Structure 1
Amino acid sequence: MTTQNAITWPERYLPGTGDNFVSNEVVVAGLSAADVWRHLVDTSRWESYYDNVADIGFPQGGGPVLTDGIHFSFGTFGFPPLDAHVVEFQAPAEDTPGRLSWTARQEVTPEERLDVLHAWLVEDLPGGRVRVLTQETQIGRPAAALATERPNPMLNGHQAWLDGLIGAAAE
Structure 2
Amino acid sequence: MYKQDPTVLTNDTRFRFKTFAFDVEAQVEEYDLDAENGVLRLAWHGWNEAKGDEFLDVYHAWLIQKLDYSRILILTQESQIGTLAKELAKSVPNTMMLGHQSRLDGLVTFAKDWKK
Establish whether TM, by shorter chain, passes 0.5: yes
Deviations 1:140-167 (A, max 9, x none): 0101111211222111101122224434
- 2:54 aligned counterpart, secondary structure: coil
Aligned residues: 112
In the alignment, what sits opposite 1:71?
14
Q: Establish whether residue 144 from structure 1 lines up as the match of residue 86 from structure 2.
A: yes
Return the structure number with greater strand share: 2
RMSD value over aligned CA atoms?
2.2
Task: Pick closer, same or farther for the CA change 1:152–1:135 going to 2, 3 Å.
Answer: farther
Deviations 1:97-126 (A, max 9, x none): 210001000111221010000111110223
Pick 1 or 2: higher relative contact order, CA cutoff 8 A, min separation 6.
Answer: 1
Deviations 1:45-79 (A, max 9, x none): xxxxxxxxxxxxxx424122011112111111101
Aligned-partner residue type, residue 166 of structure 1: V
Deviations 1:74-104 (A, max 9, x none): 1111012x11111111013344621000100
Provide the identity percentage.
43
The 4+ residue runs of structure 1 with deviation greater than 6 A are: none
What TM-score, normalized to structure 2?
0.81
In the alignment, what sits opposite 1:105?
47
Aligned-partner residue type, residue 73 of structure 2: R
Could you list the runs of 5+ residues in structure 2 that have no partner in the other structure?
A: none
Q: How many angstroms does 1:168 deviate by?
A: 6.1
Aligned-partner residue type, residue 16 of structure 2: S
Q: Establish whether residue 93 from structure 1 lines up as the match of residue 35 from structure 2.
A: yes
